[in-house]
Amino acid sequence: RFCKYGLGDELLIVCAEIWDALRAATDADLTLAQTIVDSAGIIVSNPDLTLCYDERGAKYELPNYVLSEPTNLIRDG
């Protein structure tokens, strides 16, 4: 987890909490995801969560591959 705020411990903790909230939101249904991002103070710039900001203005970019189910897996059976 990378945080662009600076080197203070408090800032790194905030950054980790935002990443954790984004991870939880990507796994939740739409209603719960909205609740998660709202309660974490995340500003969603793209409706698909690929570009978000926290309240301090730090940018969080999520690549499309982490937001969708894999399509190139071989299934057993």
Residue 27 lies in a domain: yes
Q: What is the pLDDT of residues 28-59, one digit of tens each?
A: 999 999 999 999 999 999 988 899 999 888 88
Average pLDDT of span 9-35 = 83
Report the pLDDT value the prediction gives residue 11, as an integer from 0 to 100.
54
Report the pLDDT value the prediction gives residue 60, as an integer from 0 to 100.
87
Residue 75 lies in a domain: no
40, 33 contact by CB (below 8 A): no
Beta bridge partners of 61: 51
Q: Report the CATH number at residue 48.
A: 1.20.225.20
Burial of residue 71 (number of CB atoms within 10 Å: 0-12, 13-18, 19+): exposed
Nearest Cα neighbor of 6 from 64, 56, 67 is: 56
Name the residue range of residue 15's domain: 9-66
Residue 28's contacts (CB-CB under 8 Å, 6 or more residues apart) are: 36
Beta bridge partners of 43: 53
Average pLDDT of span 8-23 = 74
pLDDT category at 16 given cuts 50, 70, 90 is confident
What share of the chain in percent tops pLDDT 70?
81
